[in-house]
Amino acid sequence: MLNQELLQELVSFYTPEQKVLSLYLDADSSQQSIDAIKLQAKGLLKEVQSKHEKDTAVIERYLDHSYDWSKPGLAIFSAANHDFFRAYPVAVSFRNRVRIGHKPYVKPLAHFFDYYAHYGVILVDRLGARFFEYHLGELQAADGFVGEDVRKLKKGSGSSAVGMRGGTGGGRHEEEVVQRNLRDAAVATGAFFAHRPVRRLFLGGSLDTTSQFRDLLPKQLQTCLVGTFSMDMNAGEHEIRQHTLQMLRETNTEREKKLIDELITSSAKGDHAVVGLDNTLQAICDKRVQLLVLSDGYQTPGYVQEESEFVVANLAKSPLSAQELTAVDDIIEAAVNLTLAQGGKIEVINGSEELNRVGRIGAILRY
C-alpha cells in the first residue's frame, strides 16, 4: 500500500531534464469498462507521446498486462531514461490528468493522503458493537464486542410474580442489560482504537443508541467524532466503507470552508498565515510552512534553485539573478514538493471562490 515513505521517495526523485511522466487515472471498472478506461489513458498519453515514447509504451504495457483493475484509482510515474517506474493503485478514484516535469507530480497524492488518512467507524446496537479502522479508503483492521442477550419478557410470562414485586422489574432488568452492554462496548471500543492513529471517527446505529453510546466513549475518541449515521448492525463491510467514504468527503468539504476562513482571517491580522503567491513562496523559502493551501489545478511558471530550496515566481522579488535560477513551467508543483520535503502538509481545495480571490494559494505558518 502507498504510504508516507513512498510519497517521500517521489518527492525526492529528480531529473535534470523534464523527463518524469505522471499519469492519474479514474480506473473504476465498476463505472465504465476497462477498455474505455484504457482508451482514455491512451488519449492522455498521446498528448505527450512525441517526446516520451518510452514512457508511454511502458505505461500502456502495464495497463494491458500487469494492472489487475481491482482499485478505482491509479497513479503512475515513469522516467524510462532513468529506469524509474512506480504504479500506485488506491481505493479512491482520481481525476484523469497527465503531467511532465523534473519531478513526479505529487499534488493529487498529497491531497489524497490528507483526505483519506486514518479514520475509524463504529456500529453499535443494544447488544454490542463493531469497530473498523480505515486508511486511504482501505480496511486495516476490524473487531467487535457482543454483550449479554437482551431478552424481553413475553406478554403474560410471569406477570403475577412481576406484579407482586413492583410491576416493571422485567423492563427495568432489560434496560440494565442494555446499559451494561453499552458500557462494556465502549470499553472494548477504547481498547481497539487505543493504539490506532485515527483522526476522524464515524458512529452508526439508531439515534437513541448512538446518543447514549457517544457519552460512554473515552474522551479522546469523543473529540474525534465527526458524524453519526443510521445503519443496520449487520450491514456488510463494503456498504459501511462506501457510506462513510461519502461522509468523509462531506466532512472534509465543511472542514475546508472553515480552514479557508481561518487562513484569510489570520493573514489579514498578520497572525501566522499568508495568502498570495509571492508571500507563500517566501514562507516556503523560510521553511515556515506548516500547511500549504492551494486551489486544485493551479499552475503558474516560476524559478527554482534546487540546492538552496529557493522558489520564486517574480524575478523582481528575487535576490538571485535569472542566470542562477532554473525556469520551470509550474512553480506550484515545486512549492508542493518543497513543503512536503520540509515536513509540511498540503491541502488542495476544489472550487473555493474565497481562496481564488486571495490568489489561489496561501499557508498556515509554524511561527
Q: What is the pLDDT along the chain (367 residues), one digit of tens a residue?
A: 788 899 999 999 988 877 899 999 999 999 999 999 999 999 999 999 988 999 999 999 999 999 999 999 999 999 999 999 999 999 999 999 999 988 999 989 988 988 899 999 999 999 999 999 999 999 999 999 999 987 754 444 443 333 333 444 557 888 899 999 999 999 999 999 999 999 999 999 999 999 999 999 999 999 999 999 999 999 999 999 999 999 999 999 999 999 999 999 999 999 999 999 999 999 999 999 999 999 998 999 999 998 899 999 999 999 999 899 999 889 999 999 999 999 999 999 988 999 999 999 999 999 9
Confidence (pTM): 0.81
Amino acid 350 reads N
* Residue that has been written with the C-alpha cell 491512451 in this structure: 42
Q: Which CATH number fits domain 118-235: 3.40.50.10860, 3.40.50.12280, 2.120.10.30, 3.30.420.60?
A: 3.30.420.60
Quote the radius of gyration of the chain (alpha carbons, Å): 26
The top-level CATH class assigned to 256-365 is: alpha beta
122, 214, 128, 129: which is closest to 177 by C-alpha? 128
Give the torsion through C-alpha atoms of 45, 47, 50, 52, to 10 deg. -40
Give start-end residues of each CATH 3.30.1330.30 domain in the chain: 256-365
Q: What topology does CATH give the domain 4-105?
A: 3.30.960
287: left (phi over 0), alpha (psi -120 to 50) or beta: left
**Spatial distance between the Cα atoms of 134 and 115, rounded to a whole number of angstroms:** 12
Give start-end residues of each CATH 3.30.960.10 domain in the chain: 4-105
Give start-end residues of each CATH 3.30.420.60 domain in the chain: 118-235
Task: Check: CB of residue 178 under 8 Å from CB of residue 150.
Answer: yes
**Spatial distance between the Cα atoms of 275 and 323, rounded to a whole number of angstroms:** 28
